[in-house]
Amino acid sequence: MGRLQSAVERVILYSRFLLVVFYIGLAVALAAFALSFVVKLAMLMPQTLSMDETQILMAMLVLIDKALVASLIVMVMLSSYENFVGRFEDGIREDSPSWLGRLDPNSLKIKVAATIVAISSINLLQSFLTVEQQSEKEIFWKTIVHIVFLASALALGVLDRITSHKPKLVGEK
């Protein structure tokens, strides 16, 4: 029975390497997204002289939105790999972001939620800037969705704070 249990445990343990397929897929998606960003920026540049301030602001908000999504993808790829698959080698670690070793799954969830709130905020701001092109119903529902995202992010933060406090043992100061 010991050999069977050991084999099952090894299969379960090493199955985490299947996650690498997802992280590589995210890297490929990030490259496609970066290409989309460059194309959007290249198409925008010649038009900027003929755009009014609101149109330029809207275009910048789209670019900021894309940058937030790209940053989110990088955060998920790097921290998830390190948390679930394995640590990066020392040579690679020297070139890695300073937050990499400190981002556990709980703090990653909060960062993802905060990024989603930021993206939703940008979307809502775009709606307010083009209010004449939106129906009241559309703006209402975008506001509701944003409030739900915000409440979810706050709830995750509160839950993380509650669960991160360890109860003191008797006699501890």
150 token code pair? 């915000």
| Amino acid 83: pLDDT | 84
| Amino acid 70: pLDDT | 94
| Amino acid 166: pLDDT | 63
| Amino acid 142: pLDDT | 92
| Amino acid 41: pLDDT | 92
Answer whether 79's CB lies under 8 Å from 96's CB: no
Residue ranges of the chain with per-residue pLDDT less than 50: none
| Amino acid 172: pLDDT | 58
Q: What is the separation of C-alpha 134 from the centre of its chain, rounded to a whole number of angstroms?
A: 28
Please state, in angstroms and rounded to a whole number, the distance separating the CA atoms of residues 63 and 67. Answer: 6
Domain parsing of the chain, residue ranges: 2-164
Q: What is the pTM of this model?
A: 0.74
Residues composing the chain:
173
